[in-house]
Chain A
Amino acid sequence: MNIYEQQEKNKRLTFFIFFAFFAFFLFIGMGFDYFYSFGANQRGPKYVWNSAGYYEAKGTSNTFFPIGTLLASAFAVGMSINSAFNGHKFVLRSTMARRAVGLNDKEKQFLNVIKEMSIAAGLPEPQGYIVPDSDLNAFATGFSPENSYIAVTEGLLEKLNREELQAVVAHEMSHIRNYDIRVMTLAAALVNAISLISDWSVRSARYSSGRGYSSSRSGRGGAGGILIIIWFIFVIFAPLISRMLALAISRQREYLADASAAELTRNPLALIKALEKIRMSVDPTYAVNNGIAHMCITDPRGSLIEEREGLMGDLFATHPPMEKRILALKLMAYQMSSPSNSIGGAS
């Protein structure tokens, strides 16, 4: 598998994951509607004091209005638009990043490297930001290549040499070029929206289930009741599941960005060295909080969950195991060094 095949494969996978994300979101909204109308239909008649001086039974209206679906979609759209315009500001502010202006040699080098990589990718130059943290980490944010930002930590600038810094910037530039920055900001917004909506619908469902429950006991529960229970469990676990989906998107994109970085610099070895240095610094990146963990080049929590393969790592890690990433890059370096023969050369 070469660089381009890997890109293709990752793009396909990412599309499926993202589709699942949206289907999931709609399911929550529609389930809420079903649940709500079911509960509403069970209500008994209202008794209203009329002008003739006695109580009169009035049926509650049964017109169906898909308020949950509409609200869920509107909320998703609103969150997405907001994150598109303001996402990068929140991200940069939350890490206390400052604009790189070339105060010292290293900062100048950083800005130079950004310029080089923007020319290599044929994109406008992103703005460079520096995060005041001694751990090694980097991320990119923004809405489009025209409006993009690359941030690195002070520790990264200090510990990496020029080639390695170039590889890291190329990795972030690939996130920009592939529009990962947009997808990741939208994904973050969707995760937030789902957790809010799930919270809200669980509360209101609990409120209306008080009436629905009493009438379902009177014979009309059945299949509807079971569906509601399934939906209810689903909604309670929605924030967790959606977060896992977001992490899955980000994991796929890390491989793709590594591949594109190698393609931009034609130098997978420098990225291997940089990743190894980053891996060796096990401290957490304190300046980066959990909300934007999936944007960074490596997991800022500094936990060793990245190194764990298998189910736990597959579900909860924001990034693929460093081991696997480095191995993939080594394969690429090997293929680049012997393009004509895929087996020979290693005698």
Chain B
Amino acid sequence: MTILAIIAGAIALWLVFTYNSLIKLKNQTLNALKQIDVQLKRRHDLIPNLVNAVKGEMKFEQDTLEKVINARAKAINAAQSGNMKEAFENENIITQGLSKIMALSENYPNLKSNEQVKQLMEELSHTENTLAFARQFYNDIATKFNIAQQTFPNNLIASALGFTSSELFELPADSKERENPKVDLTI
């Protein structure tokens, strides 16, 4: 009888412990996701300023600018209507467009010497970096959450307790980041 009680107590303790640790990870994951939202919002606010500042000079890259503006509008709409897949796709288009604009702006001496554009560029690379790092951190913490759910013995109860695994951010198939970086090993 005592042995049964001890076993039952141990199982109850384990349940409580597992549940609490999973809840903690779940909230960390959600928080990381919110952090991405914050950065996306910043980026959306930044794009019109940037486009206004550079469109006079960058006449030959009107296509890229248009693309970014359209993708921004679509992404905001899609996010509001809850279509996350479309929103992600458009955000990826923005990422590529912005990195192209940043690289191309190096070719325009007038832009490089313009104080306002300089500040905007710093602001832009800050936002882009933060966004990338926020995603990276989200992926790390979501992976941790998923592993915690899928390893034995937690996998026996995780779904019963109502936990589902989180999706990770992936780079689109044709993005530049997928290519292997070239590494110079010369000393």
B residues contacting A by CB (< 8 A) are 28, 32, 35, 118-119, 122, 125-126, 129-130, 133-134, 136-137, 140-141, 180-185, 187
Contacts and interface: CB of A to CB of B under 8 A. Distances in A.
Contact of A105 (B119, B129, B180): B119
A119 B126 contact: no
B126 A105 contact: no
Contacts of A333: 183
Contact of A119 (B122, B134, B184): B134
A77 to B, nearest CB: 32
Contacts, number: 52
Interface of A: 105, 108-109, 112-113, 115-117, 119-122, 162, 166, 264, 266, 269, 326-327, 330, 333-334, 336-338, 346
Contacts of A166: 129
Contacts of B185: 330, 334, 346
B133 A120 contact: yes
A154 to B, nearest CB: 18
B131 to A, nearest CB: 9
Contacts of B140: 122
Most B CB contacts (10 A, CB to CB) among A109, A116, A336 go to A116
B122 A337 contact: no
Nearest to B115: A105
Contacts of A113: 126
9 contacts: A105-B118, A115-B130, A116-B129, A116-B130, A116-B133, A119-B35, A266-B136, A269-B183, A330-B185
Q: Which of B32, B125, B133, B134 has the most CB of A within 10 A?
A: B133
B126 A116 contact: yes
Contacts of A105: 118-119, 122
Contacts of A109: 122, 126
